[in-house]
Amino acid sequence: MRNFAGWESLRSVKKKNKVLFIAPQSQWRDSLALCLKKIQCAVIYPEDNNILSKVFDEVPNLILIDEDYGHKDGRNIALGIKEDMVLKAIPIILLVDRPEPLNAQAGEERIDFCFPKAKGAEELLLHVREALVQRVSELDVNPVTRLPGTRTSVVRIDRAIRSKKLFAVCCIDLSDLAAFNSAYGDARGDEVIQRLGEIAEQVLKKEGNPNDFLGHLGGDDLIILTESETAVRISQAIIERFDSVIGGFYDTKDRSQGYLVQRDKQGELAQYPLMSVSIAIVHNDHMPLTEMTQISRIAGELKKYMKTLPGSCYVKYRRSGHEAKTAENLSLEIHFPTKMKSVTVSTAPRASDKYEALFSALLRGKKIESFYQPIVDLATRQIVGYEALTRGVGSAPLDEATLLFSVARESGRVKELDKLCVDYALMNGQAIPTDRKLFLNLNHETLIDPGLMKNLFSERGVVGFKNIVIEVTEQSILRSFERMRSALAELKAQGFSVAIDDVGGGAVSLRDVAILKPDYIKFDRTLIRQIDTSPTKQQIVLSMILFANGIQAMTTAEGIETREEYEAVLNCGVHLGQGYYFGRPAKMFQKTAHGHL
């Protein structure tokens, strides 16, 4: 397998060009090698008769071949390289004994240049420089990461299979790159892929073995060929480093809110969390790997499953039963390094029950519960209500609401999760004072399902309809405006109040908000953040307050974290406030607002 220092030189290809010199050992060869080094060439030699393997391993920029090499077999070696669909991209200079004029022999037209050795080193160096300058494509090197590409990677894996030794392949993939590219452009996406490659290289230097290999299959797919135990350390370190830097690739607003809003394949607006990295570790510790297609199949199944998981993670499997040739027969260990959590599922789920397996494993017992954050009347400084927020507890990796609902939506179980959240919020919210409101978040999938809505609040206990405020986001409204309009009107007819969340993000026009006639308008936290230092934000809020007053809606500022922000929104005339300045979400109902009021 590739010596680490060998592929490391690919990263410095602009500093030194690698020349593979295939010639009989002699004083003439050594003298010419010294001349090549003087023009910043790194000279390497074949170590045995397996020339093609050496070319694949070293990925040279240029090959010099003496036709006298071996049993005068240099010409055939050159032609053999040129017959390979990938290797033929490397320029070859064939050193010949024939004097000028050279009469091309059969096949020599495919060789880049035949150089008479009698002309001497100085003129040869001119041709070497010319060949290096003219070369515009390097052998199987990905242009984004400068790592060995698909062909080289496949050859290395195939060689590991044939070695009959234990090995592991870390299959590295990004989640939600398409949404990132849609928002920022492919060039910016390439920067993320390049950074991922750099991280993988740095980790491999520190955690890997001398013979480990790193390759780029294309797109956002990287592979690392290593040992099984090392694969775990490598995967964990890559995830930790990637998660620590990925936020910096997003604009401030998107990074702060923790997601992008883009249209999905159906043309509807959807939330996409910040990119994460998933790593499937395919190894032969517990079952034989006999062919490349088998590795591809297992990796594909694992990666497809991991796309349903929230956040960065790596998966390693154990054999489940006597036969284990696909991911469906494997017991999976799912690790979330940056969350310091892990979970084991008995088998990799099929397409219909992927989420069920994780859902059952993570929510077994009491793994989801409600927290309540106070909402304060800014003028009187009294708590008037609480927003119910759902969080995972214990060892559940789905402890972030955005990721939790993202997975639920991908798995087609948003409505089930909505009902679970409402049940928990109402069950644990029986002690809410009768003069205070309970704000509950619902997704549009739930709201436009009349059958589900009919029984959704059947277990509300002492909490009356008049105490419940249903929060919907701008994005939910935009997805199905007419159906949402009917659903919200029905709720108001039953005595519920309605709040539109995240107003100010620009997704929904004020005309649409006016048609819906909400009881509360909650300003997007990006509009409130540092509003005390932004006259523009203050002007926007003042305009929206005038609008809200016109439709008789109460205004709420979300995300207030400082006294200065509090005073700014109060002076603007906002009615209610919510944020860490007043109180963090808690399991019990907070009785008084915090903050130096």
- Residue 103, pLDDT > 80, answer no
> 311-344 in b/e burial notation, b at 16+ Cβ within 10 A?
bbbbbbbeebeeebeebebbbbbbbbbbbebebe
Which element (helix H / strand E) includes 523?
strand 520-523
Give the bridge partners for 523, in sequence order. Answer: 503, 557
Q: How many H helices and E strands in the chain?
A: 23, 22
Which element (helix H / strand E) includes 497?
strand 497-503
Give the bridge partners for 63, in sequence order. Answer: 20, 92
Give me the mean pLDDT over the 47-74 stretch: 81
pLDDT band at 167 (very low <50, low <70, confident <90, very high): very high
The pLDDT tens digits for 201-245 are 999 999 998 889 999 887 888 999 999 889 999 999 999 999 999
The pair of structure tokens assigned to 87 is 């290797």
pLDDT band at 290 (very low <50, low <70, confident <90, very high): confident
Give me the mean pLDDT over the 289-299 stretch: 81
The CA distance from 497 to 554, in Å, is: 11
- Which residue has 């209610």 as its token pair? 576
Which element (helix H / strand E) includes 554?
strand 554-557
pLDDT of residue 583: 92
Which element (helix H / strand E) includes 501?
strand 497-503
pLDDT band at 322 (very low <50, low <70, confident <90, very high): very low
Contact 97, 75 (CB under 8 A): no
Give me the mean pLDDT over the 271-277 stretch: 91
pLDDT band at 278 (very low <50, low <70, confident <90, very high): very high
Q: How far is CA 75 from the centre of its chain?
A: 48
CATH number for the region 4-134 comes to: 3.40.50.2300
Cis amide prior to 349 (ω within 30 degrees): no
Cβ within 8 Å of residue 61, ≥6 positions away: 13, 17, 18, 19, 90, 91, 132, 135, 138
First to last CA, the chain: 67
Alpha helices in 460-520 (DSSP H): 474-479, 481-494, 510-516
pLDDT band at 138 (very low <50, low <70, confident <90, very high): very low
Which element (helix H / strand E) includes 168?
strand 168-175
The CA distance from 503 to 44, in Å, is: 64
Which element (helix H / strand E) includes 556?
strand 554-557
What percent of the chain has pLDDT above 90? 32
Q: Which of 274-283, 455-464, 568-577 has the lowest mean pLDDT?
A: 455-464
pLDDT of residue 565: 93
The residues spanned by each domain of the chain are 4-134, 150-363, 368-577
Phi, then psi, of 250 in degrees rounded to 5: -100, 155
pLDDT of residue 507: 47
3-state secondary structure 260-304: EEEECCCCCEEEEECCEEEEEEEECCCCCCCCHHHHHHHHHHHHH
Taking CA atoms, 587 is separated from 168, 372, 425, in Å, by 44, 6, 10
Strand spans (E) along 176-274: 213-218, 221-226, 259-263, 269-273
pLDDT of residue 134: 61
Q: How many CB atoms lie within 10 A of CB 435?
A: 10
The pLDDT tens digits for 452-507 are 998 899 878 889 899 999 999 866 776 678 888 999 999 999 999 999 987 765 44
Strand spans (E) along 305-408: 313-319, 330-336, 341-345, 368-377, 382-392
Average pLDDT, the chain: 81
pLDDT of residue 553: 94
The amino acid at residue 431 is A
pLDDT of residue 347: 52
Classify domain 368-577 at the CATH superfamily level: EAL domain (3.20.20.450)
Task: Name the more confident of 56 and 178.
Answer: 178
- Residue 124, pLDDT > 60, answer yes
pLDDT of residue 85: 46
Contact 75, 69 (CB under 8 A): no
Which element (helix H / strand E) includes 256?
helix 252-257
pLDDT of residue 47: 77
Q: How far is CA 91 from the centre of its chain?
A: 37
Nearest to 60 by CA among 85, 77, 41: 41
Nearest to 472 by CA among 434, 512, 526, 424: 512
Q: Write out the DSSP string of 38-82.
A: HTTEEEE--SSS-HHHHHHHH--SEEEEETTHHHHTHHHHHHHHH
Contact 310, 400 (CB under 8 A): yes
The CA distance from 590 to 503, in Å, is: 26
The CA distance from 554 to 576, in Å, is: 8
pLDDT band at 8 (very low <50, low <70, confident <90, very high): very low
The pair of structure tokens assigned to 12 is 């410095």
CATH number for the region 150-363 comes to: 3.30.70.270
pLDDT of residue 34: 92
pTM: 0.47
The pLDDT tens digits for 377-435 are 999 999 999 999 988 665 445 566 666 776 676 667 788 888 888 999 999 999 999 99
Give me the mean pLDDT over the 528-553 stretch: 86
pLDDT of residue 398: 54
Q: How far is CA 581 from the centre of its chain?
A: 32
Give me the mean pLDDT over the 356-378 stretch: 73
